[in-house]
């Protein structure tokens, strides 16, 4: 029964369904909405200044505010997936004056001979960056990674830097495919092309990490030996090198240095391998 069910005796029957605290409830809902505005990708970014080690130009690049994005999950090849923003899009720094570009992890490290090679082979012909909006699209990010990859070749970077740049670019192709609107013209062809490009980049990443494993010291690109061993195993699986994948995953599973967490991930890879090999 309504609190106001007797009002009809006063000729006020229309008021029987009133909520005593309706106005207060509306205010509270309004206050909640005002207190929790929708966070956008742009809200999570800020401009940070850098100095180019090739030409000494100071420039700004968009970065993701650390601590503001939540890690949701990771793919088997360690690609991180964050809430609200794909942080991978903002991991390459590009000097707008000379065209030097690199993953943020490697940007500052530059030998004089490398700077000379970049000036002669990149800077001389560099026509500038196309202006991006308030956020980087996947196409913006892929182009910036492509420039970074070209720089790794020109400056004769270590195999691990080349491999890591290929890996991150592959992740961006995957991210673009996952978020591509279904009404995109020639959707199936675009997806197929992205998958092909991703596989080619993963294959190059595999080759690079294989070369680096025997030549370089650890940690490598911030990863210890067990993590790189695991990564090589999954990259081999993803590009169809099943026997190689099985061999590298066994190294993780039999390692005394590997913790249970990465061994569990390795077991998942082994199970996927067995399915893909029809065992």
Dump pLDDT digits (tens) for 40-86. 999 999 999 999 999 999 999 999 998 889 999 999 999 999 999 99
- Residue bearing tokens 């939540």: 70
The Cα–Cα gap between 236 and 254 comes to 18
Report the predicted TM-score, pTM, of the whole model to 2 decimal places: 0.86
- Overall average pLDDT of the 230-244 stretch: 98
Query: pLDDT-derived band of residue 185, with 50, 70 and 90 as boundaries?
Result: very high
Angle at 209 between CA 231 and CA 50, to 5 degrees: 95
Dump pLDDT digits (tens) for 131-147. 778 999 999 999 999 99
- Overall average pLDDT of the 146-163 stretch: 97
CA distances from 251 to 13, 68, 183 (A): 80, 36, 45
Please, are residues 230 and 266 in contact by the beta-carbon 8 Å criterion? yes
Dump pLDDT digits (tens) for 86-122. 999 999 999 999 999 999 999 999 999 999 999 999 9
The per-residue pLDDT for 36 is: 61
Residues 6+ apart with CB under 8 A from 50: 58, 59, 60, 61, 93, 95, 107
Which among 165, 21, 23 is positioned nearest to 106, based on CA atoms? 165
Please, are residues 202 and 167 in contact by the beta-carbon 8 Å criterion? yes
């Amino acid at each position: 029964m309504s609190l106001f069910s007797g009002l009809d005796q006063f000729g006020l029957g229309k008021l029987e369904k009133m909520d005593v605290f309706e106005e207060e409830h509306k205010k509270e809902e309004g206050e909640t909405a005002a207190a929790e505005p929708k966070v956008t990708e742009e809200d999570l970014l800020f401009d940070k200044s850098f100095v180019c080690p090739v030409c000494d130009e100071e420039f700004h690049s968009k970065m993701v505010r650390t601590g503001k994005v939540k890690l949701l999950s990771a793919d088997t090849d360690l690609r991180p997936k964050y809430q609200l923003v794909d942080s991978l899009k903002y991991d390459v720094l590009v000097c707008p004056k000379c065209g030097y570009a690199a993953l943020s992890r490697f940007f500052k490290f530059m030998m004089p001979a490398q700077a000379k090679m970049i000036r002669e082979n990149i800077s001389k012909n560099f026509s500038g960056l196309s202006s991006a909006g308030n956020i980087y699209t996947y196409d913006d990010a892929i182009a910036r990674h492509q420039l970074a990859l070209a720089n790794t070749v020109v400056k004769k970077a270590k195999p691990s830097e080349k491999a890591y740049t290929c890996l991150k670019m592959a992740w961006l192709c995957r991210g673009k495919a996952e978020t591509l609107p279904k009404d995109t013209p020639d959707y199936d062809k675009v997806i197929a092309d992205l998958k092909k490009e991703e596989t080619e980049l993963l294959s190059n990443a595999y080759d690079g990490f294989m070369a680096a494993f025997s030549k370089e010291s650890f940690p490598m690109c911030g990863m210890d030996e067990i993590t790189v061993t695991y990564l090589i195993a999954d990259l081999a699986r993803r590009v169809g090198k099943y026997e190689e994948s099985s061999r590298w995953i066994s190294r993780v599973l039999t390692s005394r240095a590997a913790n249970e967490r990465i061994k569990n991930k390795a077991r998942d890879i082994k199970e996927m391998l067995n399915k893909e090999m029809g065992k």
